[in-house]
Amino acid sequence: MNTSTVIAATCLLFSFSPFTATFAADPVNGRALSRQCTVCHGKTGVANDPEVPNLAGQSAFYLEKSMKDYRSGVREDRRMTLMAANLTDDQIKDIAAWYASFKIEVTVPEQE
Ligand code: HEC
């Protein structure tokens, strides 16, 4: 019997998240803005380069926090510091909403 556990992580729309409740994010604008991210993070939000993290299905809260941390210098990376520098709070919210809306599926490997 195949006991591998398949977890379908269905990401609820960001707009219902308590973390982004103040202003509704606009994932359509986020999609447009994300074109500049795909060169590294991939069109599907899954990166090919092992140094680059996947963004697909990540929580909007975490995506937003990471981008703001790069922008403020709390978190440093030569590529991301540059990318985040010109993004406004609203743009960050929109991009976070876009990547958070991706549906991902996780298969946990069987354990002996
Ligand atoms: C030139 C390549 C490049 C581009 C373009 C790029 N990124 Fe990144 N991104 C990276 C790398 C490399 C990291 C990992 C950096 C580190 O180690 O902190 C990263 C990390 C991140 C993280 C943190 C993820 C985590 O799991 O901690 C977020 C969020 C992120 N990028 C969002 C974006 C967004 C949104 C854009 C487009 C506006 C973008 N990136 C454009 C290379 C890139």
Model pLDDT for residues 40-82, shown as the tens digit of each residue: 999 999 999 999 999 999 999 999 999 999 999 999 999 999 9
36 lines ligand 1 (CB under 6 A): yes
pLDDT digits (tens, 9 = 90+) for 81-111: 999 999 999 999 999 999 999 999 999 999 8
Find all residues with CB under 8 Å of 57, minimum gap 6, and list them: 9, 11, 45, 99, 100, 102, 103, 104
pLDDT of residue 22: 55
Determine which residue's CA is closest to atom 40 belonging to ligand 1. Answer: 37
Determine which residue's CA is closest to atom 11 belonging to ligand 1. Answer: 52
Burial string for 48-69 (b: 16+ CB within 10 Å, else e) reads eeeebeebbbbbbeebbbbbbb
